[in-house]
């Protein structure tokens, strides 16, 4: 099972935080800080895997990948395949890229709730829902469309720009 | 409308937060936003509710409390519109967890949404339920989810399948309800649905034995067929990841096969074919392909035995090891670690490749490979593997040497086929990385050396060669010095020459040169130097003709600032010079150290209590005194019974010298009563305290409490003041004291001779201290104690100025390390004035063998009303590392 998905930038600022087994907020922040501590001190040419036993218990591992200024981090237990998780991250990033056409850090900052919706189409309850990025994009677009239609009826919702912002 | 909630848009808030330059600014922005959101919450503002919740989610991500938004989630979920529901569910998943009571209130809304006509709303509800469902919710909503497994839209079906996983994990009893629906889902063609159905199936098998049996019987065949199709399917671009069709589905299929095949020969048999196909047909030039192969290997390893497949699997891992991608090598090593217990032989075949990984540039791979090699070593391959590892030790990274030496030493110790090989290998390791080996390692080596009597000559000659080339490795120096001391005669006379040895000519003076070089080398620490002195003493007896030269070298340490060295030097000088008749018996070769008790002790409980009790004479050895360590080998040997010949007994007593500082000998009367108390006092002080007539026999030495202001501590204080700078005259008997004290009847012992030169009459009371003439004195207080460092304050007043207190601070360091750059700082409240004089030194030697003194003058402006308090701060460097100690002193006498 996947325990958490975290996106943070190279200064350690969280950009997306999703825990699949609940952690109190203070603990979340502590975990984010400790992960950042580990990642920023890792050398360039080393593997993408880190043993995460100390924060998440026995046999948990952490896979990270850097994309431009962002760290994408997935924490999972021994029922998942590390190499497959790397592919999963690739799918996630590809999907973000399609949804935001050339995604950058700012897109994720300002549209964090859309990123959450995308992630929810990929992972549900710590399990992978879908690995086909065009299916994911389609589902996300359907939801956006639905939201837009509802917005045009509803008076106030114009102000939540998260969706139409782009 | 509430004036606060007109507020900003989400986008503006994020922008404002991003614009903050400092954490304080950010907090201010967040506080303002939270205030307006709270106001909106209490106004029950409908219009901006979902915007506010979106803001709260962002604020939550940054780590600020957002509990006041929890009810807002529920209200949004209950709202009719899709955008509200979406944000509501998102907030529910991020801000709440299953333990919160609020969650109970959402069950009804969830139930309605699971039955909603809009499939996206159903999707939202499934997603939320799958992420945060509690056991109660699972029970209440399981029928809805079960029904949704047959929903027309595949997106809902797959979400319902994953949601079911959460339900059966929370309430395993519900598992049986899902078995049949899953069996039909497994026949689906839709990849996404199939993928999630397989995951649900796997989790059902984990929570329910019956489900496992059912699927094993009914579905193994179907799953094998699906996998077969996936492996052989033509290119399907929509699920393609870098040229492999739907790797994730294949991985899930392999995983469920692993669960079904584990422990069941028939099912395993059934899947052999397809596993072989996956293992051979999958391309391994892409990560996706390797992910499948990796999963396939794990499945082959877990299902029931089929020899051929396992070899195939381990060969795949072998191939992984030479892959350029670090990740692949990393997972391969992890898997080989598991595989080694299943098929060690097959893993052995890849030994050479694994050994290459020990030299990898990636530290985490190196570490794993080393562990794997360690598991692979056995009697038959220990020699070549050790050679490889030692060869690599020469060129390895500095930070890897510690791990590497530890493993090599452990291998050599565990599996050495013969003693000479063991000694050879250990010498190589010590020469390459002697500074990285732990003390136990070279202790063990010495134990082995003493036990192989036929190799004594060979060993001492090898060590003589080794120390010439590797004099910078402390461990080599120590072992060599020890052996030359013990077996110096064998070295010089080429006794016990083996055929393989090259002849070597060493003169007595060459051997002494080596030890002289070691004692003078600046990198040698106290332990090494002390060992050198001991070796010299031994050599003085082995090489009678060089006795004078040895005496000269020993004498050079008489002026050492390190008390231990000074003491040894003076004692040994006396033995060499005055007690020729005694010397040879004193420095006889060490008795063979008992290997069994040594290794037993290492495996077990440190120094066993029996070891302490066995030692005659009541010399209690304190384990953590570093110098005990030095000669600790003596403790391993069962102490000789008191009535045995005097030789070993003396040896023992000599060994006891090292522990002198922390040893106490209750039988020996007043002289030694102060020993061993943790008061941090000098040995000198103890000695002289015996001279104070009114001292009660079991002196209370707890100087921590200033209340024990009896005469004894007063005299101690004075002694202390007078004798801070060790003069050579009293120190000989501090050592001799210990030498003689173990003997219950000193008169009968020849050792009493050593007490000649006992200069000052011990019963003469020390001269009264100056301070006493000038004003009041107080009992000294232990102002601060932390680990090895203690600070003692001697307080006094000048006559006529009661508000001024003179303090003499005395710092001692009981650790074995020297503290450098020692700085003491103090601060006092406003009613006090503090004047600090320069300290006597900024280097504090270890083992309490010296001290720093510093004078302070405190003026109490509210004398008689308030008592003195002080905060102190001590900084120093230990091994070049900055250390800082802080504390408050409030145990000053009241009337200061």
pLDDT in tens, B758-807: 434 444 444 444 444 445 667 788 888 887 888 888 888 877 777 888 88
Contact check, Cβ <8 Å, B86/A117: yes
Q: What is the largest CA-CA distance in chain B?
A: 109
Contact check, Cβ <8 Å, A49/B10: no
pLDDT of residue B7: 60
Which residue stretches of B416-473 are H helix? Answer: 419-433, 439-451, 456-469
A22 interfaces chain B, CB cutoff of 8 Å: yes
Q: How far apart are CA B829 and CA B889, in angstroms?
A: 12
Rg of chain A over Cα atoms, rounded to whole angstroms, equals 16
A14 interfaces chain B, CB cutoff of 8 Å: yes
pLDDT of residue B710: 42
Q: How far apart are CA B346 and CA B349, in angstroms?
A: 6
Contact check, Cβ <8 Å, B63/A29: yes
Backbone angles phi, psi at B827, to 5 degrees: -135, 145
Nearest to B296 by CA among B372, B354, B230: B230
Contact check, Cβ <8 Å, B288/A87: yes
Contacting residues for B797 by C-beta, under 8 A, at least 6 apart: B775, B776, B777, B804, B805, B806
Residue B698 falls in which region: left (phi positive, over 0), alpha (psi -120 to 50) or beta: beta
Backbone angles phi, psi at B290, to 5 degrees: -65, -35
Contact check, Cβ <8 Å, A82/B327: yes
Nearest to B659 by CA among B594, B735, B607, B714: B735
B244: three-class secondary structure by DSSP: strand
Backbone angles phi, psi at B128, to 5 degrees: -65, -45
Q: How far apart are CA B418 and CA B452, in angstroms?
A: 10
pTM surpassing 0.80? no
pLDDT of residue A76: 93
Considering only residues A127 and A164, tell me which one the structure prediction assigns the higher pLDDT: A127
Q: How far apart are CA B216 and CA B87, in angstroms?
A: 42
* Closest residue to A162, CB basis, from B10, B66, B290: B10
The torsion of the CA quartet B334, B338, B339, B345, rounded to 10 degrees, works out to 100
pLDDT of residue B755: 40
pLDDT of residue B691: 37
- Residue B361 with chain A: CB contacts under 8 Å: 45
The number of C-beta contacts closer than 8 angstroms across A and B is 180
Contact check, Cβ <8 Å, B361/A90: no
- Residue A165 with chain B: CB contacts under 8 Å: 11
Q: What is the ipTM of this complex?
A: 0.90
pLDDT of residue A84: 92
- Residue B196 with chain A: CB contacts under 8 Å: 127-129
Backbone angles phi, psi at B263, to 5 degrees: 80, 10
- Residue B57 with chain A: CB contacts under 8 Å: 112-113
Q: How far apart are CA A21 and CA A4, in angstroms?
A: 8
Instruction: Please report the residues numbered 112 through 151 in chain A whose beta carbons come closer than 8 angstroms to any beta carbon of chain B.
Output: 112-113, 116-117, 120, 124-125, 127-132, 134-135, 139, 142-143, 146-147, 150-151
Cα B609 to its chain centre, rounded Å, is 26
Q: Taking a C-beta distance cutoff of 8 angstroms, is the pair B275, B257 a contact? A: yes
Q: Taking a C-beta distance cutoff of 8 angstroms, is the pair B434, B475 a contact? A: yes
Q: Taking a C-beta distance cutoff of 8 angstroms, is the pair B156, B145 a contact? A: no
Instruction: Please report the residues numbered 36 through 75 in chain A whose beta carbons come closer than 8 angstroms to any beta carbon of chain B.
Output: 43, 45-50
The minimum CA-CA distance between A142 and chain B, rounded to whole Å, is 9
Weakly modelled stretches of chain B, pLDDT under 70: 1-7, 98-99, 234-245, 307, 597-777
Nearest to B841 by CA among B862, B827, B860, B820: B820
Contact check, Cβ <8 Å, A83/B294: yes
The pair of structure tokens assigned to B52 is 């506010």
Q: How far apart are CA B358 and CA A140, in angstroms?
A: 47
Burial class (CB in 10 A: 0-12, 13-18, 19+), A122: buried
pLDDT of residue B649: 41
Q: How far apart are CA B597 and CA B610, in angstroms?
A: 12
Contact check, Cβ <8 Å, A113/B54: yes
| Chain B residue with minimum CA distance to A160 | B51
Residues pairing with B823 in the sheet: B875
| Chain B residue with minimum CA distance to A136 | B155
pLDDT of residue B112: 92
Q: How far apart are CA B297 and CA B752, in angstroms?
A: 76
The minimum CA-CA distance between A110 and chain B, rounded to whole Å, is 6
Q: Taking a C-beta distance cutoff of 8 angstroms, is the pair B476, B483 a contact? A: no
Backbone angles phi, psi at B589, to 5 degrees: -60, 145
Nearest to B85 by CA among B106, B58, B56: B106
pLDDT of residue B721: 44
- Residue B9 with chain A: CB contacts under 8 Å: 159-161
Nearest to B473 by CA among B425, B515, B437, B441: B437
Q: Is the dihedral of CA A68, A72, A78, A84 positive or negative?
A: negative
User: Does A161 have pLDDT greater than 60?
Assistant: no
Q: How far apart are CA B765 and CA B238, in angstroms?
A: 100
Contact check, Cβ <8 Å, A159/B65: no
pLDDT in tens, B58-117: 999 999 988 888 888 889 999 888 988 999 999 999 888 766 777 888 899 999 999 998
Residues pairing with B786 in the sheet: B789
User: HSE on the CB side for B453, CA within 13 Å?
Assistant: 5
Contacting residues for B747 by C-beta, under 8 A, at least 6 apart: none
Q: How far apart are CA B805 and CA B799, in angstroms?
A: 10
């Amino acid at each position: 099972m996947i325990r958490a998905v975290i996106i943070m930038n190279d200064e350690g600022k969280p950009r997306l935080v999703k825990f699949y087994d609940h952690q109190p907020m203070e603990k979340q922040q502590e975990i984010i800080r400790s992960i950042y501590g580990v990642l920023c001190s890792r050398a360039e040419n080393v593997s993408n895997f880190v043993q995460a036993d100390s924060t998440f218990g026995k046999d948990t591992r952490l896979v990270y990948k850097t994309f431009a200024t962002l760290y994408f981090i997935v924490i999972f237990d021994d029922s998942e395949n590390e190499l497959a998780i790397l592919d999963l991250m690739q799918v996630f990033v590809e999907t973000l890229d399609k949804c935001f056409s050339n995604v950058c850090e700012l897109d994720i900052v300002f549209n964090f709730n859309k990123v959450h919706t995308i992630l929810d189409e990929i992972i549900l309850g710590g399990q992978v829902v879908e690995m086909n990025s065009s299916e994911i994009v389609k589902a996300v677009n359907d939801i956006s469309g639905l939201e837009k239609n509802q917005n045009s009826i509803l008076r106030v919702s114009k102000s939540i720009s998260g969706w139409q912002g782009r | 409308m509430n004036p606060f909630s007109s507020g900003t848009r989400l986008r503006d808030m994020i922008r404002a937060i991003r614009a903050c330059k400092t954490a304080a600014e950010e907090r201010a922005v967040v506080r303002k936003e939270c205030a307006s959101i709270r106001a909106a919450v209490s106004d029950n503002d409908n219009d901006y509710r979902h915007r506010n919740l979106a803001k709260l989610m962002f604020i939550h991500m940054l780590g600020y409390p957002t509990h006041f938004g929890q009810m807002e989630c529920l209200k949004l979920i209950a709202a009719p519109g899709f955008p509200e529901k979406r944000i509501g569910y998102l907030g529910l998943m991020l801000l709440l967890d299953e333990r919160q009571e609020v969650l109970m209130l959402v069950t009804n809304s969830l139930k309605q949404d699971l039955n909603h006509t809009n499939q996206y709303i159903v999707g939202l509800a499934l997603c939320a339920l799958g992420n945060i469902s509690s056991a109660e919710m699972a029970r209440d909503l399981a029928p809805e989810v079960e029904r949704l497994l047959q929903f027309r839209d595949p997106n809902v079906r797959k979400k319902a399948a994953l949601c079911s996983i959460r339900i059966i994990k929370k309430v395993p009893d519900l598992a049986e309800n899902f078995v049949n629906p899953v069996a039909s889902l497994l026949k689906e063609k839709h990849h996404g649905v199939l993928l999630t159905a397989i995951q649900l199936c796997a989790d059902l098998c984990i929570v329910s034995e019956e489900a496992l049996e059912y699927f094993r019987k009914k579905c193994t065949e179907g799953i094998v067929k699906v996998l077969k199709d996936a492996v052989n399917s033509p290119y399907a671009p929509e699920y393609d990841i870098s040229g492999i069709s739907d790797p994730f589905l294949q991985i899930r299929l392999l995983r469920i096969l692993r669960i079904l095949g584990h422990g069941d020969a028939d099912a395993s048999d059934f899947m052999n074919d397809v596993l072989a196909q996956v293992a051979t047909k999958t391309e391994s030039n892409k990560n996706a392909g390797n992910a499948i192969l990796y999963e396939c290997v794990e499945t082959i390893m877990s299902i029931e035995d089929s020899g051929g497949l396992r070899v195939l699997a381990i060969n795949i891992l072998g191939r992984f090891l030479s892959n350029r991608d670090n990740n692949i090598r990393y997972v391969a090593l992890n898997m080989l670690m598991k595989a080694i217990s299943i098929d060690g032989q097959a893993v052995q075949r890849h030994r050479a490749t694994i050994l290459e990984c020990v030299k990898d540039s990636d530290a985490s791979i190196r570490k794993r490979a080393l562990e794997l090699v360690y598991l692979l070593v056995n009697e038959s391959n220990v020699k070549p593997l050790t050679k490889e590892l030692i060869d690599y030790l020469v060129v390895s990274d500095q930070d890897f040497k510690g791990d590497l030496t530890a493993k090599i030493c452990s291998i050599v110790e565990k599996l050495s086929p013969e003693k000479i090989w063991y000694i050879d290998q250990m010498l190589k390791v010590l020469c390459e990385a002697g500074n990285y080996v732990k003390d136990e390692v070279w202790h063990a080596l010495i134990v082995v050396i003493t036990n192989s009597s036929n190799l004594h000559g060979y060993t001492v000659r090898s060590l003589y060669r080794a120390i010439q080339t590797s004099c910078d490795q402390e461990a080599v120096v120590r072992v060599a010095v020890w052996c030359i001391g013990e077996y110096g005669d064998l070295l010089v006379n080429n006794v016990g020459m083996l055929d393989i040895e090259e002849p070597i000519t060493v003169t007595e003076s060459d051997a002494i040169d080596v030890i002289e070089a070691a004692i003078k080398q600046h990198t040698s620490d106290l332990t090494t130097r002390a060992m050198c002195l001991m070796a010299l003493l031994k050599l003085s007896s082995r090489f009678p003709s060089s006795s004078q030269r040895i005496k000269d070298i020993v004498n050079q340490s008489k002026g050492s600032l390190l008390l231990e060295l000074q003491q040894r030097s003076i004692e040994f000088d006396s033995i060499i010079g005055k007690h020729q008749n005694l010397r040879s018996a004193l420095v006889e070769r060490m008795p063979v150290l008992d290997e069994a008790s040594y290794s037993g002790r290492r495996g077990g409980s440190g120094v066993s209590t029996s070891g302490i009790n066995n030692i005659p004479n009541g010399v209690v050895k304190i384990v953590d005194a570093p110098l005990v360590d030095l000669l600790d080998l003596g403790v391993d040997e069962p102490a000789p019974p008191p009535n045995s010949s005097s030789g070993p007994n003396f040896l023992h007593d000599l060994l006891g010298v090292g522990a002198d500082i922390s040893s106490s000998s209750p039988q020996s009367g007043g002289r030694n009563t102060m020993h061993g108390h943790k008061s941090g006092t000098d040995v000198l002080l103890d000695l002289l305290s015996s001279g104070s007539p009114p001292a009660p026999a079991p002196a209370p030495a707890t100087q921590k409490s200033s209340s024990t202001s009896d005469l004894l501590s007063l005299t101690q204080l004075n002694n202390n003041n007078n004798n801070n700078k060790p003069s050579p005259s009293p120190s000989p008997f501090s050592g001799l004291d210990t030498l003689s004290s173990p003997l219950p009847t000193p008169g009968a012992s020849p050792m009493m001779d050593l007490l000649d030169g006992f200069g000052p009459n011990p019963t003469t009371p020390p001269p009264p201290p100056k301070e006493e003439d000038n004003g009041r004195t107080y009992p000294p207080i232990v102002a601060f104690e932390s680990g090895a460092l203690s600070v003692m304050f001697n307080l006094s007043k000048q006559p006529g100025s009661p508000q001024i207190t003179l303090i003499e601070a005395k710092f001692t360091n009981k650790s074995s390390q020297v503290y450098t750059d020692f700085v003491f700082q103090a601060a006092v409240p406003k009613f006090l004035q503090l004047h600090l004089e320069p300290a006597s030194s900024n280097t504090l030697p270890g083992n309490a063998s010296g001290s720093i003194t510093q004078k302070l003058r405190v003026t109490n402006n509210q004398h008689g009303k308030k008592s003195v308090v002080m905060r102190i701060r001590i900084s120093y460097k230990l091994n070049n590392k900055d250390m800082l100690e802080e504390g408050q002193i409030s145990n000053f006498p009241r009337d200061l």
